[in-house]
Amino acid sequence: MRVLIIEDEVRLAENIAEVLRESGGYAVDIVFDGEEGLYMAESNPYDLILLDLMLPRMDGITVLQKLRGGDMDVPVLVLTARDEKEMIVTVLNAGADDYVTKPFDLGELLARAKALIRRGKGQRSPVLRVGDIEINTADHSVRRAGTLVSLLGMEYRVLEYMAHRPNTVVSKTELLEHLYDFNWERFSNVIEVYISGLRRKLDEGGSEKLIQTLRGQGYMIKR
């Protein structure tokens, strides 16, 4: 999953990004003002946006209104130092999905971020099930037919993203856009490497193949 942080407090933004990358396994982009944040949000496919309200060049409420005015339905978690009732009502009415007030616990922020991403994918439970595959998005464990399967970090991220979209063709471009941040080095065969690893580990000893390849289109996990 890919997350955009729009926050002008540099140290706070970097601390949040570190937690999201290391504990959540997310790709993260950071921008420090509202105008660039709006541009990045409109130019890239994100699974979650963390949005501060007090931003230079364009305030967070305006950014949020422009996103929702453009029919962008990506989940937005607002970061705010103001907890008065009127401001919270304004934030939610502008289209925010949730908010946290500063200072906040990074563990709580991560939990809220994971919940919003799940809800954005239409998934309430932290456990994804596709056929006999069980993916726990809280601890990143994967089981097939009850047997624990050990995956590399990027193998897990590919599998989780596809499991959120069963019976849907997912192209290599879509996977690259959602699993890597803006600064990633583009290697043409990286997705094929992770798909190969998933097949080797998940299909071992089983008769039913989990991931199908649709030539010239991408990959699909069938229920």
CATH of the domain at 213: 1.10.10.10
Domain hosting 160: range is 127-221
DSSP state of 160: H
For residue 44, what are the contacts with CB-CB under 8 A and spacing of at least 6? 2, 4, 29, 177, 182
Whether 17 shows a pLDDT value over 90: the answer reads yes
Higher-pLDDT residue of 82 and 115 is 115
Q: Based on the domain organization, do 93 and 57 belong to the same domain?
A: yes
Domain boundary among 85, 101, 120: 120
pLDDT, tens only, 21-66: 999 999 999 999 999 999 999 999 999 999 999 999 999 999 999 9
pLDDT, tens only, 154-211: 999 999 999 999 999 999 999 999 998 877 766 568 899 999 999 999 987 665 788 9
Q: How many domains does the chain have?
A: 2
Q: Based on the domain organization, do 43 and 146 belong to the same domain?
A: no
Domain boundary among 96, 120, 144: 120
Are the C-beta atoms of 183 and 193 separated by less than 8 Å?
no
CB count within 10 Å of CB 71 equals: 6
Q: What is the pLDDT of residue 129?
A: 93
Are the C-beta atoms of 76 and 49 separated by less than 8 Å?
yes
Q: What is the pLDDT of residue 186?
A: 60
Q: What is the pLDDT of residue 53?
A: 95
Entry pTM: 0.89
Q: Based on the domain organization, do 166 and 112 belong to the same domain?
A: no
Q: Based on the domain organization, do 115 and 175 belong to the same domain?
A: no
CATH of the domain at 75: 3.40.50.2300
Q: Based on the domain organization, do 139 and 163 belong to the same domain?
A: yes
Domain boundary among 120, 148, 173: 120
pLDDT, tens only, 116-145: 999 998 888 899 999 899 999 989 999 998
Q: Based on the domain organization, do 16 and 107 belong to the same domain?
A: yes
Are the C-beta atoms of 2 and 181 separated by less than 8 Å?
yes
Q: Based on the domain organization, do 80 and 174 belong to the same domain?
A: no
Q: What is the pLDDT of residue 182?
A: 79
Q: Based on the domain organization, do 185 and 169 belong to the same domain?
A: yes
Q: What is the pLDDT of residue 55?
A: 96
Q: What is the pLDDT of residue 206?
A: 61
Q: Based on the domain organization, do 139 and 111 belong to the same domain?
A: no
Whether 6 shows a pLDDT value over 90: the answer reads yes
Are the C-beta atoms of 130 and 167 separated by less than 8 Å?
no
